[in-house]
A and B are shown apart, each in its own frame.
Chain A
């Protein structure tokens, strides 16, 4: 495999981890989030600071990075208790801009210059790069998918589905909306933190622009395209939107046109996404894809 393919593959896998996290928040719990790149960034910056300034290795920093992303997700998930739908979308956009501004203007986070010199991940004395780094990311994606699979079969998932469908009716069944919305935010943002950490160690240099609002929109597009609330939707969506720009590279001037056309066709003909409820692909692959509920 060429290093070009491995690079594209690694980025896709890292993004798929973050999009799986977004799926827990948006797909399973039904909470709109347009600021997911902020948590991807919080994971990346936490990993970068802990490894470049505090002397941690990737492995010792990882639990702290995931914990920190989840904790900040918990705090920033608090607005979801008070605000819903459009207002929550606007609130999460605001969170993205604030987090990006903090990275850009606070010197501790490297300011406009970002943070460089982030070390490579070392496993059993081997510095991971190329295919080995790709395989590590793939391993983490499998773990994340397993957690999502477990989640879809848990009581927490049933509670989240109920809240997504009819919040008031869910609470009359004894389900606490506050508890499960926050749980979804914690799990989803912790996954974004993991993705961010891998991104930082892969790129070895990060800056605030890597975690801006358009990145959040891209994550959401990947999720919508693949199918919200499905197990494999985030992976399929990320794969397609990761590969398409490369496939259309010879038509570089028309790339955005094809990308936009694809999204419009999806919205028109398959609003649930490629693997979403009632989709053509899902009907064909129904016996194989037992993953998501919706």
Chain B
């Protein structure tokens, strides 16, 4: 098992965001966590990344307890995140943004090969190579954010609301890339999304989150057929 999250509890002051959520990811899986706004999806990703560690419960990565491990160390052992609203470094160029992703891995990775591959996957980034982050459109920033997370060749990619603010065509393209990374390259992905249809459509399994608790989980196709999921998240 690559990632195991056991009974985590997260609260912000008096507000309980996550209450006893558990889930796991096998290597090579693409798993979605879906839920409405405020359900606690981002809190879960942030706790796996270490940005807001859980107050209770435990997180294991490759069998190692990482519950209290600092964020940068989690990044170095192979966990990377594509955050909500991209968070590219606005005054660094596209190339420099990518280079921040390989910090400390300079001698371990064929960086030029990785950059070439990413420029193939996201051709617009090649065109914008020397352009600073703040001048990119929302969609381009999102692609840069994904590329920056991928350049280090991570073992686990956490993706937070990647469709937010993107036009439908671009959403389709980004989900296509994620599916290809999972199927073609065996990358393990934990996807957190409001766009339940798009995310479950490319996932093997899914978890449905409501007000900080997991109310449903199972095979993605079965979840898509579930009457409750259909009614609340798929609009059928």
Contact = CB atoms under 8 A, between A and B. Distances in A.
B152 interface: yes
Interface string B126-161: 000000000000000000000010001000000000
Interface residues of B, number: 26
Contacts of B88: 169
A175 B83 contact: no
Contacts of A173: 72, 75, 80, 100-101, 103, 148, 152
Given A158-B96, A158-B103, A165 B90 contact: yes
A204 B81 CA distance: 56
A155 B96 CA distance: 10
A96 B55 CA distance: 38
Contacts of B81: 172
A142 to B, nearest CB: 27
Contacts of B89: 161-162, 165-166, 169-170
Given A158-B100, A162-B100, A168-B51, A174 B90 contact: no
Contact of B72 (A155, A166, A175): A175
Given A162-B92, A166-B89, A177-B72, A172 B103 contact: no
A136 interface: no
Contacts of B51: 168, 172
Nearest to B49: A172
Interface string B72-105: 1001100011010001111110001001110111
Contacts of B152: 173-174
Contact of B92 (A161, A171, A172, A175): A161
Nearest to A170: B100
A175 B91 contact: no
B106 A155 contact: yes
A159 B72 CA distance: 12
Contacts of A166: 87, 89
Contacts of B72: 171-177
A294 interface: yes
A170 B152 CA distance: 14
Interface string A81-109: 00000000000000000000000000000
Contacts of B101: 173-174
Q: Please give me the 8 A-B residue pairs with the lowest Cβ-Cβ distance, nearest first.
A: A174-B75, A171-B71, A165-B89, A169-B87, A171-B72, A176-B72, A174-B76, A162-B100
26 contacts: A155-B106, A158-B96, A158-B100, A162-B89, A162-B100, A165-B89, A165-B90, A165-B91, A165-B92, A166-B89, A168-B87, A169-B87, A171-B72, A172-B72, A172-B80, A172-B81, A173-B101, A173-B148, A173-B152, A174-B75, A174-B76, A174-B103, A174-B104, A175-B103, A175-B104, A176-B72
Interface of B: 49, 51, 70-72, 75-76, 80-81, 83, 87-92, 96, 99-101, 103-106, 148, 152
Given A165-B89, A172-B83, A175-B104, 14 more contacts: A158-B96, A158-B100, A158-B103, A162-B89, A162-B100, A165-B90, A169-B87, A169-B89, A170-B89, A172-B49, A173-B148, A174-B75, A175-B72, A177-B72
